[in-house]
């Protein structure tokens, strides 16, 4: 007996269909901001660090700012008490070849003037002594031509009046001066403005005025017309016989 064999269709695996993109994304849960925040912060910090390292400073790309703790330029202090040569200078590059000196006067007391520096000349050595009582003023003392210590004195309040050497008087305001640092710089040292204590608030100074090519006197004048930049002080030995 012959068996009848039926031809059954070959079984195939079911076909899988892709879901549309929109439908698949609909089943994804949105990323929480609480989860994303740490990652975003980390990225921002790294970016700022890279920008700072590249620009050498702030985000604006400028150069690094100097530290606020950088030492500022120091203002020179008035000199300590002692003997000095006072050099009037006309410019920051000037050599210290001129000195204030005690000059003779045939009609009056010796005067303070400028002469060519001579290290051995005792009349070019001036004692700067602070006035007692906490004042910022000084007296300027030097030997006169009879080997006595006299003081530089403001003879008159008039403009261009000379500075004379007279016997010292304690407390005399016309024998008191101040040495204030200027904004000028010299390769020779700090530059000071010499002013009479009694007229400094009126803008008056001690300048140098040439009377003729051989002589220049120290004069009481407006600080804008002194003819010099200021004075540089160089320490010197006291002159012989200068004990007070």
Enter the tokens of residue 152. Answer: 């530089």
What is the structure's pLDDT at 110? 95
As a whole number, the mean pLDDT across the chain is 78
Model confidence at 41: pLDDT above 60 = no
Domain boundaries 82-235, corresponding CATH code: 2.80.10.50
pLDDT tens digits for range 113-145: 999 999 999 999 999 999 987 678 999 999 998
What is the structure's pLDDT at 132? 82
Which of residues 48 and 169 earns the better pLDDT score?
169
Nearest to 86 by CA among 94, 77, 95, 96: 96
pLDDT tens digits for range 180-194: 999 887 888 899 999
Query: Helix (H, G, I), strand (E, B), or coil: what is residue 25?
Result: helix
Enter the tokens of residue 131. Answer: 């006035």
Four-CA torsion 23, 24, 27, 31, nearest 10 degrees: -120
What is the structure's pLDDT at 210? 86
CA distance readout (Å), 84 to 51, 55, 68, 75, 123: 58, 53, 38, 20, 11
Name the pTM for this structure: 0.68
Q: Residue 73's pLDDT band (boundaries 50, 70, 90)?
A: low
Query: What is the spatial distance between Cα 62 and Cα 59, in angstroms, rounded to a whole number?
Result: 8
| 106 contacts 133 by C-beta, under 8 angstroms | no
CA-derived radius of gyration, the chain:
43
Q: Residue 62's pLDDT band (boundaries 50, 70, 90)?
A: very low
Nearest to 142 by CA among 155, 134, 133, 151: 151
For the chain, the structural domain boundaries read 82-235
């Amino acid at each position: 007996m012959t068996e009848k064999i039926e031809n059954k269709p070959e079984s195939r695996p079911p076909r899988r269909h892709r879901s549309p993109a929109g439908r698949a994304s609909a089943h994804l849960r949105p990323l929480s901001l609480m989860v994303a925040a740490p990652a975003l912060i980390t990225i921002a910090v790294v970016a700022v660090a890279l920008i700072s390292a590249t620009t050498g400073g702030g985000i604006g790309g400028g150069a690094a700012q100097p530290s606020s703790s950088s030492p500022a330029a120091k203002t020179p202090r008035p000199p300590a008490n002692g003997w000095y040569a006072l050099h009037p200078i006309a410019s920051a590059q000037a050599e210290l070849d001129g000195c204030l000196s005690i000059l003779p006067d045939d009609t009056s007391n010796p005067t303070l003037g400028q002469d060519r520096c001579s290290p051995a000349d005792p009349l070019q050595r001036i004692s700067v002594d602070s006035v007692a009582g906490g004042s910022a003023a000084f007296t300027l003392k030097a030997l006169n031509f009879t080997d006595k210590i006299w003081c530089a004195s403001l003879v008159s309040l008039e403009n261009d009046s000379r500075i004379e050497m007279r016997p010292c008087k304690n407390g005399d305001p016309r024998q008191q001066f101040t040495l204030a640092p200027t904004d000028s710089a010299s390769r020779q040292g700090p530059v000071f403005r010499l002013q009479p204590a009694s007229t400094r608030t009126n803008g008056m100074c001690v300048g140098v005025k040439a009377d003729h090519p051989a002589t220049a006197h120290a004069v009481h004048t407006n600080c804008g017309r002194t003819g010099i930049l200021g004075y540089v002080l160089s320490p010197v030995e006291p002159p012989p016989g200068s004990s007070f």
